[in-house]
Amino acid sequence: MCRNMSIVILWKSKVLILILVLTSFAVQLLIALLVLRDLRLPQSGCGGLGYVQPIPVPEARAREALAGKSPTNRELQSFASKSLSSHASQLLDRASDASRPLQVPASDARRTRLYEDLSREPQRAAPTYKGSKLAALFEHPLYNLPGPTLSTDDKLLTVNMRERFRPKSSDDEDWVSMEELEYVLLAGDSPADTYPNWMKFHMGINRYELYSRHNPHIETLLQELGTMKIVRVAQKHGGTQLKLVMTLENYGKVLFKPMKQTREQETSGDLFYFSDFERHTAEIAAFHLDRILDFRRIPPVAGRLVNMVKEIREITSDRKLEKTFFISPAKNVCFYGDCSYYCSMEHALCGKPNALEGSMAAYLPDIKLSKRLTWRNPWRRSYHERKKAKWEINPDYCAHVKKTPPYDKGTRLLEVIDMTILDFLMGNMDRHHYETFQKFENETFLIHLDNGRGFGRHSYDELSILAPLQQCCRIKRSTYSRLQLLATERYRLSDVMRESLSRDRMDPILIEPHLLALDRRLQIVLKTTQDCIERLGVGSVVEDDLGDHVGETKPCQKRGCGAKQTDAQLAQRSVKLSRFPTTYLSPRDRPGGKVTPYLTEQFTARE
């Protein structure tokens, strides 16, 4: 009986084991089939789920990271602030964007961290290209158009090769030969090699540009602005806010604008443009933006951390300035200077404890050497909280401007439109005047000085800045083409700006929302231009300053001509740029030869 019982139990347990084995086998088979189905779905492209693209692994990881699933990102989250989360969501966008280079501003360690995590992912999609977007931009044919041949009349300064430099003191008069209005050179056998960089910059200024593309001296000059010993400091009078004129040890002069706001502070919408602070970062960023737009109409500007005691107070001979120095309750060195706005104890500029950040702008040649004309901007604002300017009331304002010298001839109106685009991109409403070099009369570019009120608001686009483009519906073809290029992924404006600014010692210069606002505003400029073209036709909107195509042999007389190979090269690089028929070219007025002021009181020579 007992034996029978044990045989039954043995059989029962054997059957149980068999059932268990079979069940586990069936479960495994089911799992395998499900996995197989998941893998096939995206390729099949059919069925409800089939249309949903799988999240690429890096992006999935980024999402996981944001959800705080990995230990690394929990660690990141513990630092998390609102701005980090917006950074992170931008990163998320970038992670799915295969064509972006892996460039990380060194200063943002947290961002770098997350980026490193993503870049370690083995299945990360390979970028469609490697290297620098900025370098690629500057190699593009649109940035390599042969320039005009320069005659003596096209150069701002003539240099007396025989004279030698004998610095007695660092006063302007000692390094400028007054009678001949020429530069006196540094001692040396081969003068060109011995010029300081600021002098090379001055000597390169011509009718068409402040400096040439690919000019190696500009990079060196920027380095010097950021590092070279400061030997002399004084206040710069004129203008509204405090700024200093500094002299470097190679006698180069610099306009220093001190930091007044942190990078994160966004200008309040309740503040009028004329009460806004000037931002040193805007001066730096404006130089980079102007160069990226290929205008080259802003003198080089670099960021610098200045020792307020050793590099300002101890070396200044300006007693008024020296007297305004004090030590704050927080034991920081402060000063407020002497000017018409914000020069008071309440608006003092304080260091940490004595280091003060600021922008260093290379000076233009002394006005004794090259006079400048200051012109009122026809689209200037009223600078009054209740008054409106004429252009705001009269919808036909541009027709009036077009009839008024110097806007009735040559390229002056188009130059104003270029300036408008620069200002709209950076949100600068403070362009009341612009300057030109007197020597070049009316046929020249506009110098874009004083950009400190740009980059104030990143969350708002001030459309009224675009009024000249909207009202006149005119743009240079070279400008329009470059704007289109900067709107493509390969040369995206925010990316090339980020990269260009990353070379500055004070990087990051602009916080991310300001960079992204550039892309948004660029779309608005393009849309405004396209609306004009739809309404009026390409021929009356786009001025073909790129010249004829193949076959042009005459020496260039005008800015930007000689661009024969452009369209062919553009096609080669498969960049979608609008092509314009060359037959619509309107006959352009040639320079009249004489300066024709807008209204006599509207320009004054800078003395």
Ligand X SMILES: Nc1ncnc2c1ncn2[C@@H]1O[C@H](COP(=O)(O)OP(=O)(O)OP(=O)(O)O)[C@@H](O)[C@H]1O
Both tokens assigned to 571: 């096609």
Question: Secondary structure of 94-137 in the HEC alphabet?
Answer: HHCCCCCCCCCCCCCHHHHHHHHHHHCCCCCCCCCCCCCHHHHH
Specify the residue, 255 or 312, whose C-beta has the smaller distance to ligand X: 255
430 catalytic? Reply is yes
Instruction: Determine how many CB atoms are found less than 10 A away from the CB of residue 420.
Output: 23
Q: Is 98 annotated as contributing to ligand binding?
A: no
How far is 197 from 301, CA to CA, in rounded Å? 14
Q: Which residues contact 257 (CB under 8 A, 6 or more apart)?
A: 241, 243, 278, 280, 283, 358, 359, 361, 452
Q: Is 362 annotated as a binding residue?
A: yes
Contact of residue 238 among ligand X, Mn ion, none (CB under 5-8 Å per partner type) = ligand X
Task: Kindly tell me which of 438 and 569 has the beta carbon lying closer to ligand X.
Answer: 438
Q: Which does 299 bind (CB under 5 to 8 A by kind): ligand X, Mn ion, none?
A: ligand X
Question: Which three-class secondary structure state does DSSP give residue 316?
Answer: strand
User: Do 63 and 55 contact (CB within 8 A), yes or no?
Assistant: yes
What single letter denotes the amino acid at residue 573?
R
Is residue 290 near Mn ion by the rule CB under 5 A? no
Taking the complex as a whole, how short is the minimal distance between the CB of residue 241 and Mn ion, in angstroms?
A: 7
Q: Is there a binding annotation on residue 364? A: yes
**Quick one: 103 or 215, whose CB is closer to ligand X?**
215
Residue 449 binds which entry of ligand X, Mn ion, none, CB below 5-8 Å type-dependent: ligand X
Distance from C-alpha of 413 to C-alpha of 285, rounded to nearest angstrom: 25
Nearer to ligand X, 280 or 474 (CB): 280
CA 44 to chain centre: 45
Distance CA 208, CA 297 (A): 9
The three-state secondary structure class of 383 is coil
Q: Report how far Cα 350 is from the mean position of its chain's Cα atoms.
A: 27
Contact residues for 14 (Cβ-Cβ < 8 A; gap 6+): none
| Residue 137 interacting entry, from ligand X, Mn ion, none, C-beta within 5 to 8 Å by type | none
With CB under 5 to 8 Å by kind, the binding choice for 364 among ligand X, Mn ion, none is: ligand X
Which 3-state string (H, E, C) describes 356-369?
A: EEEEEEECCCCCCC
H or E segment to which residue 21 belongs: helix 2-44
Beta strands in 312-432 (DSSP E): 326-327, 333-335, 349-350, 355-362, 372-376
The stretches of 473-557 forming alpha helices (DSSP H) are 477-486, 493-501, 512-536, 538-541
Number of H helices, E strands in the chain: 20, 15
Q: Which is nearer to ligand X, 270 or 607 (CB)?
A: 607
Q: Would you say the C-alpha torsion 510, 125, 122, 91 has a positive or negative sign?
A: positive
Least distance (Å) between residue 380 CB and Mn ion: 13
Residue 429's closest CA among 303, 291, 299, 271?
Answer: 271
Is 361 annotated in a binding site? The answer is: yes
Taking the C-alpha atoms of residue 159 and residue 175, their distance in angstroms, rounded to an integer, is 13
Closest CA relative to residue 465, chosen from 508, 507, 432: 432
* Contact residues for ligand X, defined by CB under 6 A: 238-241, 243, 255, 278, 299, 361, 363-364, 449-450, 452, 606
Ramachandran angles phi, psi of 72, nearest 5°:
-60, -45
Could you give the string, one character per residue 418-457, with x where binding to Mn ion holds by CB under 5 A and - elsewhere?
--------------------------------x-------
Residue 439 is labelled as binding a ligand: no
Q: Is 5 exposed, middle or buried (0-12, 13-18, 19+ CB in 10 A)?
A: exposed
Q: Provide the token pair at 8.
A: 């039954």
Sign of CA dihedral 265, 267, 270, 276: positive
Sign of CA dihedral 179, 182, 186, 189: negative
d(CA 358, CA 336): 14
Q: Which of 117, 430, 545, 567 is catalytic?
A: 430
Query: Which residues are at the interface with Mn ion (CB under 5 A)?
Result: 450
- Positions marked catalytic: 430
| Annotated binding residues | 241, 257, 278, 361-364, 435, 450
| Annotated binding residues for ATP | 241, 257, 278, 361-364, 435, 450
